[in-house]
Structure formats: C-alpha cells, structure tokens
Structure 1
Amino acid sequence: MNELDTSLHAIGPEQFVLAFAFLISYPLSLSSFAGLRGRRWAGLGAFAAAAGFAALTDPWMNGVLLLAVAVVGVGLFVAAVWAMSAMLGLVEGRMARTTDVASDADERVVPDSPRAVVARSG
C-alpha cells in the first residue's frame, strides 16, 4: 500500500490529463448519451487513456490498480444515483405521480406521457 501512495504522489500533469480523459470517456462509453458511434469512440478513448496512464505510472501495476479503483468509484457513484432516484420516485428522468383518473390506484403515470394527456382531457 505504501508503494501505491508513493505512485500517487509522483503523478505528473500528463497523468492527470490521461486520468481525466479516462474518467470522462469511460462513463460515456457505458451510457446511451452519445449514441452507438459515440460510445465506440468513447470506449476507444477510455482504453487509450487508461493504457497511457498505466504506461506512465512507475511501476505500471500501480497505474492499473488506480484505474481499477476509479472504475469501482464510478460504479459506486452510479449505484448511489440510481438508489436516490428510486427513493425519490423518478422514472426515466421525470417525476412520477399517481393520479385519481387512473383506473388502478397503484399505477404510476408520467406527467408528459400520452396516457396522462388523455386522462387530463377526458
């Protein structure tokens, strides 16, 4: 563990840039934000940044270990955001609500969905 701490203190500006590029590209390669072609380019960028970061870290195994910790950190962040969104009742980026018009009292209706528009008008 002391070796990893020494590697962290020896990181230069080029490694910071590569780590930043990895932390930007990796989530983009997993999401549908950029589309299929964008995800492929983001994945390639994440791989290139990770390889460059590991190659510039002395010893390279510490660089790989730091990248693994970064991947776990991104995963924990995504899990925390998902859990918070589930607790708040967010559905596909919009606040879900129940309506009195719905036939089933437990059914959730998204406010801008076609069903909600029909329920309000009729």
Structure 2
Amino acid sequence: MEALYATMTGALAACGLYLTLRGRTFPVVVGLTLLSYAVNLFLFSTGGLTTNGAAVIKEHAGHYADPLPQALVLTAIVIGFAMTAFSVILAIRVRGELGSDDVNMARSDESREGKS
C-alpha cells in the first residue's frame, strides 16, 4: 500500500510540474492544483498510513492515527482552494487585458508585433 501511495504522490507531482511549465495559463493553474494535491498527500503520509486506527487517542490505544498531519492537510486544502480561485481570476483578468493567455507574452511583445 505504501508503494502505491508513494507512486501516486510522485505521479501527481510529476504531472503538476509538467503542466506548470506549459505556455498557457489554464494548464499552469491545473498544474499548481495538482502540485498542491501531491503536497497534501505527502503531508498526510508523514503521520503514517494506518488502517482501522483510532482517531482519538484513548488510554490503552496502541494503534492510532496521528491527528496533526490531518489538521495540516485540512488547512492546506482550504488555502489551496483560495489560491486556485485567485489564480483563475488573475488568469481571466490577464486574458482580458492582454488578449492572450500566453504566459510568456508581455505588453512589449505585443507592441513589437504590431510594428512589424
């Protein structure tokens, strides 16, 4: 189970990095979202992967789930959602002002294209 979990975390990170390096804004936003999911999975795995563990530590509980990584992941999910919403709004605004969603295009590039 740990090997599958680590493989999926690595695959999400690789796909997120690939999409982040693309030239358009939508794949960049999706890539950042996938990277945040990979980080969430990594944070969750730091507490140890347990099945049928007690969520709350009792007196004689020898097998329990660590609540700290779970709290960190919940916080990271909320922050990641806010970051994704901000990135989408920023991408829409840039597309409206520049007329293109190309990541590498700037206003100076646009003015040089119009002169030639």
Q: Does the TM-score normalized on the shorter chain lie above 0.5? A: no
Which structure is larger by alpha-carbon Rg, 1 or 2? Answer: 1
Greater relative contact order (Cα < 8 A, sep 6+) = 2
